[in-house]
Structure 1
Amino acid sequence: MPQSQKSETLAQKNSGLVSNLPASIHPDSQLATTSTLLESGKALFAAGKLTEAARVWQQAAVSYSEQGNSLGQARSLNYLSLAYLNLGEWEKAQRTISQSLNLLQIESLLEKETGILAEGLNIQGNIQLALGQTAIALDTWKQATSAYESVGDITGKLGSQINQARALQHLGNYRRSQKLLEQALAQLQSQTDAATKATGLRMLGVALQAVGDLAQSRELLEQSLAITQQLEGQNPIFGRDTSATLLSLGNTLAALQETKTALKRYQQAATVATNSLTRTQALLNQLNLLVKTQQWQEAQTLLPQIQSNLLSLSPSRASVYAQVNFAANLMKMEVGERKTRETRETRETRETREIFIISNSQFPIPNSQFPIPNSQFPIPNSQFSIPNSQFPIPNSQFSILNSQSIAKLLAKAVQEARTLQDPHAEAYALGQLGHLYELTTQWQEAKELTEQAIVIARKIK
């Protein structure tokens, strides 16, 4: 796979890179040291440790600069700007990618240099879109597409075409967007390399899912799945692609409201997943669909497996999001099950009352000398505290154990996000923790946490 294709994969799907950093780095030369830094940054980025990845790539960029290696410096700056982009540090991202592109702005570029230029332009387009510069981003992605095409990077070209389609959608030009995706598909169908074709079909399937063309999304994802399953039979390494495709196909089927089939695909994705994160994502998507369709008993059976998988995840943005996703579903389950219970109890009470009235209407009920006791006993304050947290214990309109376990989970997610210095993840976790206190009618705590989340989110924007 060309290096530019690897970089595009990093930008598009944040997977497929080395997952474990070396315990120590003992290179034989300065060049080897810098190259190892670059790869270590990729591993950190793939693990969701964005701040650490940025630090390592900054070191790599400085080292390449000291060596006079402008090509290596430009690639390091590309990756560094991608980390800043994901951290929401738009100005740093823009400044860094401009520095990279300036290093490559010469009249005649070699193939390797053009590949780095293509990935830089692709990242710059994402930054411009994030800044609301949609028309400029569209032009940038057109340049990226041409650069990828000139070096024969099919996957990179497809990714930049999909990005162009995104920009056109933002600009309200849905017809042009659809036409561009159709052209990309036509080019892809003639692709002879099975792995490239499978990846491209999945990328297009996900893109079509996003624009609401669910029928074609399903068709392309099923084509991709058939190819990856064949490849997996020849080489187990393709199991990663199989699980990713099953997960995307499950999402499309869920959007089509084909619940039973979607659940089956999620189950398959969890079974064949080659890492804990993908397995956890598949289980969480399954749980989310079960909760959405109010299949409470089936949802309950998944909880121990999800909890076990969450414990196996190392701290990262993805693990924080997984914990918050799980907590959100637990809250929905608690509320949904309570409503179902109350509805059933109300119906049963009404039916019992009607039977009682019919059966005993000839017998008057004597006035009671004894008042009816108040059955709404207050729940005593719990002696259990949330470890390592400044957050108060929620009141329980939920069961007391559920509210505390959800609060502990979210408090842990907030702490992990802060340790990772990831404001996106921190705002997300704080917002859900505020929602928990809202559900337990602790208005002041809910207000304070929600305001904290909003302040962080505004700083990112």
Structure 2
Amino acid sequence: MGIKRSLFEQKIKLLLRQVRATVQRHISIIILAVLFLVTAILPSTAHMVTGNLLAQASLNAENLVEQGKALYEAEKFNDAVKILQQAAAAFAGSGDKLGQAMTLSNLSLAYQQLGLWKEAEGAIAQSLNLLQNLERSQERAGILAQTLDVQGRLHLTRGQTENALNSWQQAADIYKKLGDRVKLVRNHINCAQALQVLGFYNRAENILDEVKQTLQNIPDASVRVEGFRSLGDVLRLLGKLRESEEILKESLKVAKSLRSNQVISEVLVSLGKTARAQKNPQAALNFFQQAAALSPPINTRIELLLNRFSLLLETQQFRAATDLLPQTQSEINKLPPSRMAVYARINLAQNLARLKKEIKNHSNKDTNNINTPSWLDIAQLLAPAVQQAKSLQDKRAESYATGTLGSLYEQTEQLSHAFDLTEKALFTTQAIDAPDITYQWQWQLGRLLKQKGDIKGAIAAYQVAFRTLQSLRSDLVAINPDIQFSFTESVEPVYRELVDLQLQSKGNLETTSQNLTQARDVIESLKLAELNNFFRSACLEPIVKLDEVLSQVISY
């Protein structure tokens, strides 16, 4: 019995071992099958996951580009730079080199607005380098033309007019091949401005005539109205006022056919500016009032109000100007922080300071009852502009606001505060290349030193301002007309006051002789600058010094 039981147990153990072996063998087969399936599926799955991630990265980059464009249009340039930098990195990460090149081009524009020229040049160079190494396609060609347009703008801003013209001409060739007449029109307008600065009037005229003919043949009315308005604005900048008026009236005619109050109001503003340049203030006011009646967007409303306010001062309608002040201040206070908000406050503060001077100079029974803001009120209007510019990290706007605040303290003879703010404005311009505003603070510093009785220091400051103006030359023509004063108010006095200081300066015979020579050179430069301003071009250069002429006459 025990033996049988033992044999039975052995059979059971053997059977269990066989079952265990069979199960293990089946499990191994199942595992191998699973591994085979996973091995077969994994590459395509990995590829699909990678593709989804890249697509998502590209989509995120495109969203960032749209955010950057919105910030740029809102004039929040520093924020736009940060977002566009992220977008460029996202495109690079996804391998989308076309998207990266396009974004770098937009990034350069934002850098240019901030006066960060080295960074702007770097972004353009990187964009062009990427595009050169890509296969030719229509999309690549379009982005290349856009990048060349941006490069041309950078060259012109830096005073490299011939380089600007070369970039724009390359872009024009591409637009012609693509058949993009709209962008070609804008490109030609830029080329005409560059040619005019170089003194090539006939070529500039020919290009502008071509632009006019092209616009006539474009069926899209919205494109025509924008093109005509841009052309009219450029013609005004070039001093071709009659042509500007004709083109802008054509733009107005097309705008009315669109029945868009916003578009019509923008054209009316341009017409008002041209009428003002034609020394026809009443016509200008009429255009501005017509535009205001159309309830335009806030940016256009503020532009209108500021133009009307300064024009009323110009025509000595002081009471009407003060009546307009509450509405102007109210509209400016509605603006979110932006460069436009900063410049609007600067513009109004400058005109209020001018209002106080004008009323003082024209003091009579008609002006005695006009209530003008105090100097403190004007300073309090301007102070937020400085803070806004700082919060935007916009060095150009910050310098302009700080220096203007310094000029208010100068006018109230608070010299210590004026010095401090003027030096801060100058220090801020060191971070950017902005000679068109730098010379104003150098000149302001010279005036302050003169008030302190430091004639030697004043002459040194004036000479620096004079050299800065000399370096500008042709660029004076292209200074933003929305924030510049007239030549007689903002440029001519630098020359004349420097001559006056040099003639006042006392010293030994040698020093006096040097001062007289320098004064004569400054007068020659002033006459040249006056001619350039009259012709709206820096086409004239000094050919020979006065002493060279005299020596030739004497020897003869």
Residue 106 of structure 1, CA deviation: 4.8
CA distance in structure 2 between the partners assigned to 1:74 and 1:92 by the alignment? 15
Please name the residue that 1:322 is paired with: 344
Residue 185 of structure 1, CA deviation: 1.3
Cα pair 1:280 1:306 within 8 Å, conserved: yes
Please name the residue that 2:299 is paired with: 277
User: C-alpha offsets along residues 38-77 of structure 1, whole Å, 9 cap, x if unaligned?
Assistant: 1111111111100001111111100011000111111111
Residue 108 of structure 1, CA deviation: 5.3
Please name the residue that 1:402 is paired with: 374
Q: Which one of the candidate residues 396, 399, 418 is aligned to 1:446? A: 418
For 1:178, the aligned partner's letter is: E
Whether 2:310 is the aligned partner of 1:288: answer: yes
Are the structure 2 counterparts of residues 343 and 433 from structure 1 closer, same or farther at C-alpha, using a change threshold of 3 Å?
A: farther
User: C-alpha offsets along residues 283-315 of structure 1, whole Å, 9 cap, x if unaligned?
Assistant: 111111111111101111111111110111000
SS for the counterpart of 1:272 is coil
Residue 401 of structure 1, CA deviation: 5.4
Cα pair 2:352 2:373 within 8 Å, conserved: no
Gaps of 5+ in 1: 1-27, 233-237, 347-397
Q: Which one of the candidate residues 266, 270, 280 is aligned to 1:258? A: 280
CA distance in structure 2 between the partners assigned to 1:327 and 1:135 by the alignment? 38
CA distance in structure 2 between the partners assigned to 1:224 and 1:153 by the alignment? 21
Higher helix share: 2
Whether 2:233 is the aligned partner of 1:175: answer: no
Q: Which one of the candidate residues 256, 280, 302 is aligned to 2:324? A: 302
For 2:265, the aligned partner's letter is: S
Please name the residue that 1:206 is paired with: 233
Whether 2:412 is the aligned partner of 1:435: answer: no
* Percent identical: 41
Please name the residue that 2:253 is paired with: 226
Cα pair 2:57 2:91 within 8 Å, conserved: no
CA distance in structure 2 between the partners assigned to 1:106 and 1:149 by the alignment? 22
User: C-alpha offsets along residues 85-120 of structure 1, whole Å, 9 cap, x if unaligned?
Assistant: 111000100010111111111585322221111110
SS for the counterpart of 1:307 is helix
SS for the counterpart of 2:374 is helix
Please name the residue that 2:192 is paired with: 165
CA distance in structure 2 between the partners assigned to 1:143 and 1:316 by the alignment? 34
For 1:157, the aligned partner's letter is: L
Please name the residue that 2:455 is paired with: none
Cα pair 1:270 1:280 within 8 Å, conserved: no
CA distance in structure 1 between the partners assigned to 2:147 and 2:183 by the alignment? 11
Cα pair 2:145 2:175 within 8 Å, conserved: yes
Residue 265 of structure 1, CA deviation: 1.3
CA distance in structure 1 between the partners assigned to 2:121 and 2:186 by the alignment? 20
For 1:111, the aligned partner's letter is: Q
Q: Which one of the candidate residues 391, 401, 412 is aligned to 1:419? A: 391
Residue 344 of structure 1, CA deviation: 7.8
Are the structure 2 counterparts of residues 178 and 456 from structure 1 closer, same or farther at C-alpha, using a change threshold of 3 Å?
A: farther
Q: Which has the larger radius of gyration?
A: 2
CA distance in structure 2 between the partners assigned to 1:458 and 1:91 by the alignment? 13
Whether 2:137 is the aligned partner of 1:84: answer: no
After TM superposition, what 4+ stretches of structure 1 lie above 3 angstroms from structure 2? 342-346, 398-401
SS for the counterpart of 1:228 is helix
SS for the counterpart of 1:441 is coil
For 2:307, the aligned partner's letter is: N
Please name the residue that 2:86 is paired with: 59
For 1:224, the aligned partner's letter is: S
Please name the residue that 2:7 is paired with: none
Gaps of 5+ in 2: 1-54, 434-556
Residue 31 of structure 1, CA deviation: 2.7
Whether 2:76 is the aligned partner of 1:49: answer: yes
Cα pair 1:125 1:141 within 8 Å, conserved: yes
Q: Which one of the candidate residues 167, 170, 184 is aligned to 1:143? A: 170
CA distance in structure 2 between the partners assigned to 1:342 and 1:415 by the alignment? 38
Question: How many equivalent pairs are there?
Answer: 378
Please name the residue that 2:156 is paired with: 129
Residue 435 of structure 1, CA deviation: 1.4
For 1:322, the aligned partner's letter is: A
Whether 2:353 is the aligned partner of 1:331: answer: yes
Cα pair 2:402 2:421 within 8 Å, conserved: yes
Residue 332 of structure 1, CA deviation: 0.8
Are the structure 2 counterparts of residues 273 and 77 from structure 1 closer, same or farther at C-alpha, using a change threshold of 3 Å?
A: farther
For 1:448, the aligned partner's letter is: D
SS for the counterpart of 1:162 is helix
Cα pair 2:152 2:167 within 8 Å, conserved: yes
TM-score by length of 1: 0.78
Please name the residue that 1:14 is paired with: none
For 2:398, the aligned partner's letter is: E
Residue 268 of structure 1, CA deviation: 2.5
Residue 399 of structure 1, CA deviation: 8.3
**For the aligned residues, what is the CA RMSD?**
2.1
Please name the residue that 1:313 is paired with: 335
CA distance in structure 2 between the partners assigned to 1:198 and 1:401 by the alignment? 40
Residue 452 of structure 1, CA deviation: 2.1
Residue 454 of structure 1, CA deviation: 2.5
Q: Which one of the candidate residues 243, 250, 253 is aligned to 1:216? A: 243
Q: Which one of the candidate residues 203, 206, 221 is aligned to 1:194? A: 221
CA distance in structure 2 between the partners assigned to 1:208 and 1:400 by the alignment? 37
Cα pair 2:359 2:367 within 8 Å, conserved: no
Higher mean alpha-carbon deviation, 166-175 vs 90-99, is at 166-175
